[in-house]
Amino acid sequence: MSDPRNVGVPVITVDYGVDDGEKSFLSRTRTAVTQVTRISSDTLAQNVATLCQYVGGVFEQASTASDTLELTGLEVHVQVTAKGEVRLVGATSAEVNGGMKLIFQRRPGGSV
């Protein structure tokens, strides 16, 4: 059996393009093209690890920002691009379509 890291992780991407028949910039007709691509699991793992480092720093700063409140967890929504980039979802409606939800919690007995 082959190593799954060599095969890659399947990722569904949606590219919103503009139809050729558009009349003006105010009346754009957009089409969605859905594709399945594969990204290296090593690339995805490295990008998630980098995100974890950033989140750890944010968590630490937020944890020490208040004398009366304790931050015990942090929920982050991310999307993965076709190239394996991991991007934070900054603002969402009630629901995130696709992507991943990562939940970070403080380790017992210490720092992040």
Tell me the longest C-alpha to C-alpha distance in the chain. 62
Q: Which two tokens stand for residue 31?
A: 């089409």
pLDDT number for residue 22: 56
Place of tokens 């569904």: 12
User: How would you label 76-99 residue by residue, b for 16+ Cβ within 10 Å and e otherwise?
Assistant: bebbbeeebebeeeeeeeeeeeee
Average pLDDT of the chain, as a whole number: 77
Contacts of 111 by beta carbon, 8 Å cutoff, 6+ apart: 60
* Nearest by Cα to 100 from 82, 79, 81, 84: 79
* Prediction pTM value: 0.66
More confidently predicted of 94 and 91: 91
pLDDT number for residue 112: 46
- List, for residues 7-56, the tens digit of each pLDDT value: 788 888 777 665 555 555 555 556 677 888 899 989 999 999 999 999 88
